[in-house]
Amino acid sequence: MDAVTELKVQTILALAGAPLLTLGAVLAAGLWSARRFPERALPGVLAAALALALAVAWGGLVGYPTTLPPIDRKLWVPALTLAVPALFALIDRSGKADRLGVVAPLAALTIIGSVTLVFAPILGGEYAPADRVGVGAALALAAWLSLDRASRALPAAPALAAVCFSALGAALASAMAGTALVGQALGGISCVAGVASIIAWRVPRLTLGAAGVAALLTPYLATVAIATLYGELPVTAAALFLLAPIGAATALFARSVVPATLLAALTAAVIAAGGVALTRQAEAAKAAQAAPAEPAIGNPTSYDQL
Amino acid sequence: MKFASLGLALALTGFAAPAAAQTFAIDNSHASVLFFAKHFGFSTTAGRFNTVGGEFTIDEKDASKSSVKLEIKVDSLETNDAKRNEHLRGPDFFDVKQFPTATFQSTAVKASGDTFDVTGDLTIKGVKKSVTLKLKRNATGEDPWKNVRTGFDGELVINRNDFGVNGLPPVVGPDIKLWLSLEGIKK
């Protein structure tokens, strides 16, 4: 196997293979163990499957923490992807997850806590000024509550489809902005959410619950923020990617699962496409600024080789 | 007798003989820290860090009392490709916003003539590892402006994965060769 083939196999395994196997295995085990109750909704099963699969997708590409606290703050993400849904699962079990007054403050605290853990070294400085972080957190909260509202009123498929297309757009934009690995992690999130959406459409007892929303949004929002604050994703594009899962709320206007899913996916995709277009524009402007007046002799190649 | 006592007192306080240890500040414009990485195993891509600071102390009588301290601004890296430079600065590789500097602080120095084995803590991306840097002294002397200068060349091979700089395997090989040339001006 040559080096190029090896790269593709390794990346595909980390990005899609291992996470989808995890998702499938946990869902199969959950459905098997609940086979005595064929009519009962299973929010915990989908949330657990998503949390594990997304932690595997993120950690397999970017890394897992080897120390606590991790030296590299980004490595909080797989730990938070497992811990935050567990916290929201308690709210699901207590029966208080339907109350906005319970979910909203907890979501806000989660966003503030995650931002503090992941971005502590630069928070408030030139790379992560307080106003920018504050606006980002507000957009993230709006997306969280929209997804929560949709997941309580509808089957899981529309919300999952909205996150799938939001993450796909963010993945393309991150790769475009020169953060390939973080872009691949977003690709992994998109892939897991997309496959889970198809499964949830076929198996309607798999509902998201507050824990499932937390499992989806914790890694997604954190990774978009990493691509922006530690990477070069334009701030305006990042704002759209933080907001894109709000598309799930448009599914509330549809009466059955298929149009609801299509509506949610389309809205999220349109918002995310705006983010991709802004990123493309910013990269083109950067390239035009950096271009030498005359072509460099003997150096006609681009960064494509890496 | 009084003169003899004064001489003894001066000798004891270090005024009678020149100090054995000399400290040199690194001259950034004559300091090079280059790195070499394999690209798919096809070729070797070279880069450099343009901002290097620090100092070294050389004790000619007792090499074990010598020391080296380096500070590299990671943001100053240059690989002859603007897009690649940006990628290397980002979270996939050095993550300069979170980890703006790489440092080396010696912990033990052994000398054999003009060759020095400098063991110390190399910190890259917040991860500290003990490494041994082999330095060879090129020359020591005065420049035309009467500054005393000394210069060393040296090299070291590290595994980038040990320091969490693990983006794009196996496009970029794990072993990174560092080549240094450091010139210091006596303080």
Residue A250 pLDDT more than 80? yes
Torsion angle, alpha carbons of A29, A35, A36, A37, to 10: 100
Window from A148-152, A177-181, B9-13, B156-160 with minimum mean pLDDT: B9-13
Cross-chain residue pair A10–B164, CB shorter than 8 Å: no
> Which residues are CB-contacts of B121 (< 8 A; sequence separation ≥ 6)?
B103, B104, B105, B107, B128, B129, B130
pLDDT tens by residue, B55-113: 999 998 898 999 999 999 999 999 998 888 988 999 999 999 999 999 999 999 999 98
Report yes or no: A246 at the B interface, CB cutoff 8 Å.
Answer: no
Q: What pLDDT does residue B9 have?
A: 47
- Mean pLDDT over residues B111-140, rounded? 94
Number of alpha carbons in the 13 Å side-chain half-sphere of residue B158: 25
* DSSP per-residue letters across A31-75: HHHTTT-TTS--HHHHHHHHHHHHHHHHHHHH---SSSS-SSGGG
The CA distance from A106 to A198, in Å, is: 29
In this prediction, residue B11 has a pLDDT band, given cuts at 50, 70 and 90, of very low
Residue A256 pLDDT more than 90? no
Percent of chain A with pLDDT over 70: 92
> Which residues are CB-contacts of B10 (< 8 A; sequence separation ≥ 6)?
B16
Q: What pLDDT does residue B75 have?
A: 95
Contacts of A87-94 spanning 24+ positions with Cβ under 8 A? A87/A214, A88/A47, A88/A209, A88/A210, A88/A211, A88/A213, A88/A214, A89/A44, A89/A47, A89/A209, A89/A210, A89/A211, A91/A210, A91/A211, A92/A43, A92/A44, A92/A47, A92/A209, A92/A210, A92/A211
The token pair that represents A107 in the structure block = 């979501």
Q: What pLDDT does residue B174 have?
A: 84
- Greatest mean pLDDT among A25-34, A154-163, B39-48 lies in A154-163
The pLDDT mean for chain A works out to 88
Neighbours of B157 (CB within 10 A): 10
Residue of B nearest to A6 (CA): B170
List CB contacts (< 8 A) between A7 and chain B. Answer: 40, 169-171
The token pair that represents A41 in the structure block = 């909704």
In this prediction, residue A16 has a pLDDT band, given cuts at 50, 70 and 90, of confident
pLDDT tens by residue, B157-166: 999 988 988 8
Report yes or no: A181 at the B interface, CB cutoff 8 Å.
Answer: yes
Report yes or no: A229 at the B interface, CB cutoff 8 Å.
Answer: yes
Query: CA of B81, closest CA in chain A: separation in Å?
Result: 7
Structural domains for chain B? 32-186 (2.40.128.110)
Strands annotated E in chain A: none
Cross-chain residue pair A71–B125, CB shorter than 8 Å: yes
Query: CA of B91, closest CA in chain A: separation in Å?
Result: 6
Domain boundaries, chain A: 3-34+45-288
